[in-house]
Structure 1
Amino acid sequence: MNKINVENAIPLTVNSASDQHTGSKALKRVVVAAMAGSFIEWFEFSVYGYMAAVMGKIFFTNAAPAVQLIASFATFAVAFIARPVGGMVFGIIGDKIGRKTALNITLLLMAAATFCIGLLPSESSIGVTAPVLLILLRLIQGFSSGGEVAGASIFVAEHSQDKHRTFMTSWVEVGCISGFIFGALTTAVLHFSFTEDALLQWAWRLPFMLAAPMALIGLYIRHKLEESPLFVKENQAAKSVSRPRLATQKKSLLISSGLIIGANIPLFIILTYMPSWLVSTLNLTAEKSLLMTVVPMFFLMMTIPLFGKLADRLSRKKIMSYGYLGMMIFSFPCFIALRSGEIALQFLALLSLNMLLSMLLSCILAKIPSLFQVSFRFTGMAISYNVAVALFAGTAPMFNAWLIKVTGNPFITAWYLIAGAAVGLVAVMAAEDKTGQPMSGDRRR
């Protein structure tokens, strides 16, 4: 497979929707800055998920091992409660003050909360106060992440040319997946490098401590960016023309939520829950489960822009429909293969699930912004994205761990994937396809 170089892949862009020109160098900065911010946010947010078993032992010391894992995933899920609130707040900031301002605030908040998690005492040191503080910091992380994905994707989408918008926004997902991969690799290195006692005593703090220097790097990359030309033009026009109301976009909000449920349930199950599923269900070591999932994640990261480029030619609707259908058809066979005990079949199953996920992630960050008009694009995407993720996707690891414990059925996870994909398929069929066209409310040159 040929490696895609983002520096060479980004074309000279004229934003046909806004009469504004984004030169190739400026667009490269926008894409790289969005990728960097997404990488940092999702490394910091996801590393807790990869450390779930360890965090359960540190902050829920007196519980049984299965309950520790459920409690740890519950603390992972609780961050998603704050995401809709963060989405609403940062949506207003992004639509009223600017996309760039919202993005910088989210990065700072996430870094501060993550760094503070690394400073927390264990439950054995200060009792119940430790998990309470952990939950509070996870809520701040969730509040922050409520604005990052929407802001980054909209920022890139509004700078991009209509005919390349899917490909351009797909790089934001590459940044997100890179963060997941770095989190998984960091966790694997910790397990390989330290004894369990050292890991539980102090080494678990190291990935959280990376938050501070990473945030400084992210802010440095972002500080020279110019505001979205569509946002600037909309603000100027709003002085003389009344803005449409978000309440008129109920259909777009519902469709956006469905698309997000269909794409993010597999995202959080395959990338966050799968390592723990392999440990708890197949009795693999933590190190082996992480290594088994990391290689398919690299495959996922490499194929996202390929599918993004293909979607700009064929249509986002086709690529996403194939992805949802594939997830519905192949989830159960993939989980049968995972339980086969054959390494080759297990690896093929993980590759297949990641390829189907790639088809969804390559398009979704261009698909959703196109549903909303510029004056409430940030708010509409942030609210629908975060409510859907909070209710259905972010809670998926916790519910799957609980359901498997209650029912003893390891195939619950496959059924969960199938249900999410069915919702996504209905949504993508109901959505107007704007591949190669201006986004809703944007005018051609």
Structure 2
Amino acid sequence: MDVNSEAEYLLDDDNNPTARRHETGPTRRTVGRRELKRVVLASVVGSFVEWFEFSVYGYLAAVMGRVFFPASAPGTQLVASLAAFAIAFFARPFGGFIFGPIGDRYGRKNVLTVTIVLMALATFCIGLIPDHDAIGIASPILLVLLRLLQGVSAGGEASGAAIFVAEYCKDRNRTLVTSWIEVGCMSGFCFGALVAALLSHAFVQTQIDAWAWRLPFLLALPLGAIGLYIRNRLEETPTFEAAHRAGGFRELFASHKAALLQSSGIIIVTNVTLFIVVTYIPTYLVSTLRLDASTGFTIALVSQAFLIVTIPLLAVLADKVGRKTMMLAGSVALAVLAVPCFHLLTVESVGQRLIALLLLNLCLAALLSCIYSQIPSLFETGVRFTGMAVSYNVSVALFAGTAPMINSWLIQSTGSRMIPAYYLIAAAVIGLIALACCVDRTGGPMRGDSRSVG
């Protein structure tokens, strides 16, 4: 289907005959190439900082379990540590409900400034918490409180960064330009894996448990300062300046119900895959399959480097064939390959395990390359931040952020190492249903926006 044809825009996502506003929306100021590059750089660096700080806990989950829950059995320690990881995701919807309306009313830039400060301070403070032997039960309580603050920050960050770039760039290459945010996110994840691998190579386990685990968290302060400096030099998005009308929750739930459901389904498949493949599998390799830590983290690091390179390449292709087509292909491949790939992970071969991870990361890249352009396009400007923040964070909290904890618990309860594969298949089915129902606006304006110039 020609995504630029008038017929595509006669009905919006909720079958309301108002979609001609795509052609006649508010006039935006022209954005120069230098300004766009600065915006993309700021979003990439900010996302790198945020997601390194947020994800490094996941890579050190086993260590954090020994430090903060020392009285428990090893398996219970891991579950408790992953529960502390998951609890930050229950705070994300609160961040979405807080920052979404603020972003729609007062601007996207203001939210992005606040979120990076919150994340940096919370992560840095985790590195300062005395361990359980020093202050007892207060130690895990402080950990949980700071993880909640991280979650509130992340609740505004992901949506804000995606919308900020999506509203700046041109229609014809929105998939590629927004995909660089995911490159920043995955680079942050990859840097977290690299730091974890370096810790395992540089220190013995007793040193890591005693003090070296704090080092990645203490990096948060200087990294956050860099991200804040870059973001403070940006202007507000031209789309927001042109519209400058917040719709509020009433308008969102009255006119965007279908968009909220479609967004939620797409987010579920993408983020369940993300948190199982990128965050949980390194822990799964070490704790469940009994690989040594350095080998497990090294395999994860190689596969994540492959993911980072693949995301923009598939985004270029998606701008040609359509975001919907690319995400459908990724979801189908995930459903088909999940079980075979997890069988390969259980084989005593580093090469076969690496192949399995590369295949799973290829499926993930097909989803990540498009999500930050697909989701904003479902909502009109006045409710875009709120709509994406609510659907994104509620879906991640209920299904994705809890995936490592639930998978670890189910493996312990059932003894089946294939639980993560079945979890991925269920997420892929949900994603396929959501994608089948949504409109593909590749190459055209986002819902309610005017066409970009150029």
The TM-score normalised by the length of structure 2 is 0.92
Moved over 4 A (4+): 241-244
Contact 1:80/1:394 (<8 A) preserved: yes
Distance (Å, rounded) in 1 between the aligned partners of 2:54 and 2:287: 22
Identify unmatched segments of 5+ residues in structure 1: 1-15
- Alignment match of 2:132 (pick from 108, 123, 126): 123
Alignment of 1:173-212 (within 5 A): 173-212=182-221
Identify unmatched segments of 5+ residues in structure 2: 1-24
- Alignment match of 1:386 (pick from 363, 381, 393): 393
- Alignment match of 1:404 (pick from 411, 416, 423): 411
Contact 2:26/2:242 (<8 A) preserved: no
Matched position secondary structure for 1:91:
helix
The more displaced of 279-288 and 48-57 is 279-288
Are 2:252 and 1:246 equivalent residues in the alignment? Answer: yes
- Alignment match of 1:313 (pick from 314, 320, 334): 320
Q: Which residue of 2 aligns with 1:58?
A: 67
- Alignment match of 1:32 (pick from 36, 41, 48): 41
Contact 1:270/1:353 (<8 A) preserved: yes
Distance (Å, rounded) in 2 between the aligned partners of 1:384 and 1:27: 27
Matched position secondary structure for 2:213:
helix
Distance (Å, rounded) in 1 between the aligned partners of 2:440 and 2:373: 11
Measured after TM superposition, the shift of residue 222 of structure 1 is 1.1
Distance (Å, rounded) in 1 between the aligned partners of 2:36 and 2:360: 32
Measured after TM superposition, the shift of residue 19 of structure 1 is 3.3
Measured after TM superposition, the shift of residue 61 of structure 1 is 0.6
Render the CA deviation track for 1:376-423: whole Å, top value 9, x for unaligned: 100100000000000000000000000000000000110001100110
Measured after TM superposition, the shift of residue 18 of structure 1 is 3.8
Look up the equivalent residue of 1:273 and give its one-letter code. Answer: Y
Distance (Å, rounded) in 2 between the aligned partners of 1:18 and 1:197: 61
- Alignment match of 1:268 (pick from 248, 269, 275): 275
Q: Which residue of 2 aligns with 1:416?
A: 423
- Alignment match of 1:96 (pick from 105, 115, 126): 105
Distance (Å, rounded) in 2 between the aligned partners of 1:424 and 1:328: 10
- CA change 1:198–1:90 in 2 (3 A) is same
- Alignment match of 1:341 (pick from 329, 344, 348): 348
Q: Which residue of 1 aligns with 2:3?
A: none
Contact 2:101/2:248 (<8 A) preserved: no
Pairwise CA RMSD: 1.6
Distance (Å, rounded) in 2 between the aligned partners of 1:92 and 1:109: 18
Distance (Å, rounded) in 2 between the aligned partners of 1:124 and 1:130: 9
The TM-score normalised by the length of structure 1 is 0.94
Distance (Å, rounded) in 1 between the aligned partners of 2:380 and 2:184: 25
Measured after TM superposition, the shift of residue 93 of structure 1 is 1.3
Distance (Å, rounded) in 1 between the aligned partners of 2:417 and 2:58: 20
The more displaced of 242-251 and 215-224 is 242-251
Distance (Å, rounded) in 2 between the aligned partners of 1:44 and 1:154: 21
Distance (Å, rounded) in 2 between the aligned partners of 1:22 and 1:421: 37
Render the CA deviation track for 1:133-185: whole Å, top value 9, x for unaligned: 10000000000000111000100000010010000000000000000000000
- CA change 1:38–1:242 in 2 (3 A) is closer
Look up the equivalent residue of 2:155 and give its one-letter code. Answer: G
Measured after TM superposition, the shift of residue 242 of structure 1 is 11
Distance (Å, rounded) in 2 between the aligned partners of 1:53 and 1:388: 26
- Alignment match of 1:153 (pick from 136, 143, 162): 162
Measured after TM superposition, the shift of residue 244 of structure 1 is 8.0
Matched position secondary structure for 1:341:
coil
Are 2:29 and 1:20 equivalent residues in the alignment? Answer: yes
